[in-house]
Amino acid sequence: MLVFIIRRLLWLPLVLLVVSFITYGLGFYGPGDPVEILLGQRTNPEVVERIRHEKGLDRPFIVQYGDFVWNALQGEFGESYKYRGQAVNELIAEKVWVSSQLGFVALVIAVVLGIPLGLLAAFKHGTWADTAVVGATLIFISVPSFIVAPILLWTLVSSLHLLPSAGWNGIFDLRLVMPALVMGIPPVAVITRQTRAAVLEVVAQDYVRTARSKGLYERVVVLRHILRNALIPVFTLIGLSMGGLVEGAFITETIFGIPGIGRLGFESITSRDYPVIMALTLLVATTYVLASLAVDIGYTFLDPRVRTD
């Protein structure tokens, strides 16, 4: 087990190295001159050259990349091009906090709605409730968030005047409701479907029939034999849907004007703020690798049949 974890953790730096190399390369050979971004369009060429030299931007790619890696290893990602004078670290740190609050609420919505709905559909298999839930989840998956958002805005804000429209004021504010819903709804659908499928598969297993034939109470059969086994893949999915939440954050935060990493990411790409792009990409990649490691480790605890070696 320990060997497994260590091997996986050793894999992390390699992933980050490759991810950073590709991203850095795309940025280096991509459009936009950092110095021009810093100074704006109207500058004289001498100043541009001087600053380029001062910042070390006239050195070859591999030297600059090495420099970047060296600084990144010390946790230093430089200054943002767009927000001048702001260290990338500080810029990201405050936004990560906002996004993780939003993501947490969205995840709670997804789990609290998704698992019961999936159980409902599975235990009422073949009835209208099943059909309704499955149909609804397909609709939820199919409607992109940039369409859900205006629909919610139009119904809840502009027609019914139930909620304030946009912005961010912490986790205990009504303004959180809509973006959290928009981000939470697609994973609800995924979790519901997975729960339903898993329960249906487990219900057909021999050990469930055995449990019933032993004369166990239905409640015990459901809780101990069905749910315990069926929820393992659901657990994996919840871990992996964190990645999906980051995606959702891009669009949702941009639409609702929430100062999180999603909006920052989009802004930094459109304004070619490469230091921020680099830091964000690495942050998300790290989160992804760690989340999937956590899922794998959790798996071995939840399901002793899974061996790590």
Partner 1 sequence: MMLWRRFASNRFALVCMIVIVLGLYVTGIFAPLLSPYVPTAQNLDAVAQGPSIAHWLGTDELGRDLLSRIIWGARTAAIVSIVAVSLSTIIGVVLGALSGYLGGWFDTLIMRVSDILFAFPSLLFVIFIAATVKPSAVRFVEQMEIAWGMRGLARSGIIDYFVVFTALSVIAWPGMARLIRGQVLSVKRMEYVAAAESIGASTYRIIFRHVLPNCLSPVLVAVSMGLGGAVMSESVLSYLGVGIQPPNASWGAMIWENSGEWRLHPHLIFIPGAVVAIVIFCFNFIGDGLNDALNPRNR
Binding footprint of partner 1 on the chain (CB under 8 A):
11, 15, 18-19, 22-23, 26-27, 29-31, 138-139, 141-144, 146-147, 150-151, 153-154, 158, 197, 200-201, 243, 246-247, 250-251, 254, 265-266, 269-270, 272, 277, 280-281, 284-285, 288-289
Cα torsion through 93, 97, 103, 108, rounded to 10: 150
Q: Which residues lie below 8 Å from residue 92, measured CB to CB, with a gap of 6+? A: 77, 261, 264, 276, 279, 280, 283
Q: Which one-letter amino acid corresponds to residue 267? A: E
d(CA 237, CA 186): 13
> Nearer Cβ to partner 1, position 216 or 286?
286
> Nearer Cβ to partner 1, position 33 or 218?
33
Smallest gap from Cβ 183 to partner 1, in A, equals: 13
User: Which of 94, 228, 108 has its CA nearest to residue 170?
Assistant: 94
Smallest gap from Cβ 103 to partner 1, in A, equals: 13
Smallest gap from Cβ 65 to partner 1, in A, equals: 16
> Nearer Cβ to partner 1, position 124 or 216?
124
CA distances from 34 to 52, 80, 155, 175, 274 (A): 9, 10, 43, 36, 8
Smallest gap from Cβ 214 to partner 1, in A, equals: 26
Reduced to 3 states, what is the DSSP secondary structure of residue 87? strand
Smallest gap from Cβ 30 to partner 1, in A, equals: 3
DSSP for residue 176: G
d(CA 245, CA 100): 10
Smallest gap from Cβ 136 to partner 1, in A, equals: 11
d(CA 246, CA 248): 5
> Nearer Cβ to partner 1, position 10 or 46?
10
> Nearer Cβ to partner 1, position 151 or 174?
151
> Nearer Cβ to partner 1, position 50 or 158?
158
